[in-house]
Homo-oligomer: A and B are copies of this chain.
Amino acid sequence: MIRVQAEDFDPGAEIARFNAGNGKVGGICMFLGLVRDFMGDGTGVAGMTLEHYPGMTEKQLAAIEAEARRRWPLEDALIIHRYGRLQAGDRIVLVATASAHREAAFESCHFLMDWLKTRAPFWKIEHTAGGDHWVAAKDSDDAQAARWETPADGA
């Protein structure tokens, strides 16, 4: 399931729904991404805004989820991504996968995050006393995502 929203979410409540299992789930892997205090001054007042491309975001996230379900035997999968104004410590993204097997849960969760990082159309702009700065994409994110490429992926 895909959710793109401005509102915060409750990781515990989300995981609890995975828990209401059918007896087939042996492992749940969850990743939760938070806004770091990029000013590094500990004041926690650093702010950012996450812009996105409504419509394409949902389309790309759904495609990424479908790809994960194609590659691993998943009982459930969830991607929640927020947009809008966020402060240091705020939740940005939650990815969770449930499978009979621990390895499938770990790998698919990792895959979803890596692909989301390079394919979901979100852009961060950081607000600082010195002005606003668009965050640059990281080569390391491309390298992470490339690990999951298969010959069939083409571009």
Whether A110 is near chain B, meaning CB under 8 Å from some CB there, is: yes
Q: Which among A16, A23, A102, A106 has the highest number of chain B CB atoms within 10 Å?
A: A23
A68 to chain B, nearest CB (A): 15
A141 to chain B, nearest CB (A): 9
Say yes or no: A106 contacts B102, CB within 8 Å.
Answer: no
Residues of chain A at interface, number, CB under 8 A: 40
Chain A residues 23-73 with CB under 8 Å of chain B are 23-37, 42, 44, 46
Select A31's contact among B10, B27, B91, beta carbons within 8 Å. B27
Whether A19 is near chain B, meaning CB under 8 Å from some CB there, is: yes
Whether A11 is near chain B, meaning CB under 8 Å from some CB there, is: yes
Interface of A is mostly: mixed
Given contact pairs A12-B11, A12-B13, A103 touches B144 in the complex (Cβ within 8 A): yes
- Can you list, as one digit per residue, whether each of A127-145 has a CB less than 8 Å from chain B (1) or not (0)? 0000000000000000010
7 new A-B contacts at CB < 8 Å, known A11-B12, A29-B30 = A11-B19, A23-B37, A27-B31, A29-B31, A29-B32, A102-B113, A103-B144
Pairs A-B, 3 closest by C-beta atoms: A12-B12, A23-B37, A28-B32
